[in-house]
Amino acid sequence: MMKQFVGLFVAVASTCALAGVTTGPNGEQPTPYTQVTLKPEQTKALQGKQYKAAILMHTTSDFSSALIKGAKEVFAEQGIAVVAVTDAEMDSKKQRTDLETVLALKPDVIISLVIDPVSGAAAFRQASDKGVKLVFISNAPQGFKPGKDYAGIVTDDLYGMGKAAAELMAGSIGGKGDVALMYHAANYYVTNQRDAAVKSELAKYPGIKVIANKGIANPNDGEVIAGAILTQNPSVKAIYAPWDAIAEGVTAAARAAGRKDVKVVTMDLGAANALDMVKGGNVAGIVSDLPYDMGKTLARMGALALLNQPTPPFVTVDAIKVTPANLATQWQKALSRTPPDAIQKALANRK
């Protein structure tokens, strides 16, 4: 999942790491996405009502496309028409304009990832005041209360993603050696929880020592920061990168340093890193979320809200480990499509 979710909940990340579980922005306990279901009689009650839905995304990406696909499929099953899909291009002002334009279409339910919880509060208040059922991805507008202002939040199992990354990292070096961590140096709810979980889980391996822990704010700095880590810490055997764009810079730095031995583990499926991994490059493993399933869950939450049925305030979707051995099936599972041709060709060449 693209890691540019604005949040104000850094303290929660520390709590998450200590508790070993993903918690909501206000400390909510998670409900597994598999528990959000619609019964046949509920579907029947929705069909024929001519309800309308809108999906307001933060950006265009593989994550967004898969999420939208999943949501549209569930809405279609319930007879709910999707009247608008927007891309705010990571601009909170554009998101507000998108919202105001969409409200003119009189949707009954809106799914959205709020770019800025502070400024977004006023924008999304317009929708809640009109009685629109709101379901949010990863965070909610500041001051909004679940069950009152919105149906609930659906996000990744953030701690689970961090735990999986730590396991992949430890496995890549045989559970022993010096490693380096790169963490997202910004108050972003999603990445803060994931990064904290990686560090917390690595501490459980007595043979692994974290000898460098570097913050990164601009993803374009990945190569420079990784290069400095490798220069200053030549004993490093593996590096964790917070998401795929940064990992691309880390692998470039490893290649430039002639360090084919350095293992790289990151979050989120990206074609460049997946191809490097399949070809036996530096990337040793990738942790992915399940955006397609997330989209289906968001739509089910919205449908339940339309029926005035209770919905859990905080729902998490599973994390999955991706390795060369399972890449093809995991790519399909996460994104509901086959990998790009270059990856499929590389996979065929491995056999």
For the chain, 351 residues long, give each residue's pLDDT as a single digit of tens: 433 333 333 444 444 544 688 988 888 999 999 999 999 999 999 999 999 999 999 988 889 999 999 999 999 999 999 999 999 998 999 999 999 999 999 999 999 999 988 999 999 999 999 999 999 999 899 999 999 999 999 999 999 999 999 999 999 999 999 999 999 998 777 889 999 999 999 999 999 999 999 999 999 999 999 999 999 999 999 999 999 999 999 999 999 999 999 999 999 999 999 999 999 999 999 999 999 999 999 999 999 999 999 999 999 999 999 999 999 999 999 999 999 999 999 999 987
Q: What does the alpha-carbon distance between residue 165 and residue 87 come to, in Å, rounded to a whole number? A: 30
DSSP string for residues in 98-109:
HHHHHHTT--SE
Ordered alpha helix ranges (H), 178-326: 189-202, 222-232, 244-256, 271-278, 291-306
**Strands of 81-87's sheet, edge to edge?**
31-32, 314-317, 152-156, 133-137, 109-112, 52-57, 81-87
For residues 40-56, b (16+ Cβ closer than 10 Å) or e, as one string?
eebeebbeeeebbbbbb
Residue 33 DSSP one-character state: G
Q: What does the alpha-carbon distance between residue 36 and residue 38 come to, in Å, rounded to a whole number? A: 7
Residue ranges with strand state E in the chain: 31-32, 52-57, 81-87, 109-112, 133-137, 152-156, 177-184, 208-216, 236-241, 263-267, 283-288, 314-317, 320-322
Q: What does the alpha-carbon distance between residue 67 and residue 292 come to, in Å, rounded to a whole number? A: 5
Q: Is 300 exposed, middle or buried (0-12, 13-18, 19+ CB in 10 A)?
A: buried
- How many of the other CB atoms lie within 10 Å of CB of 176? 12
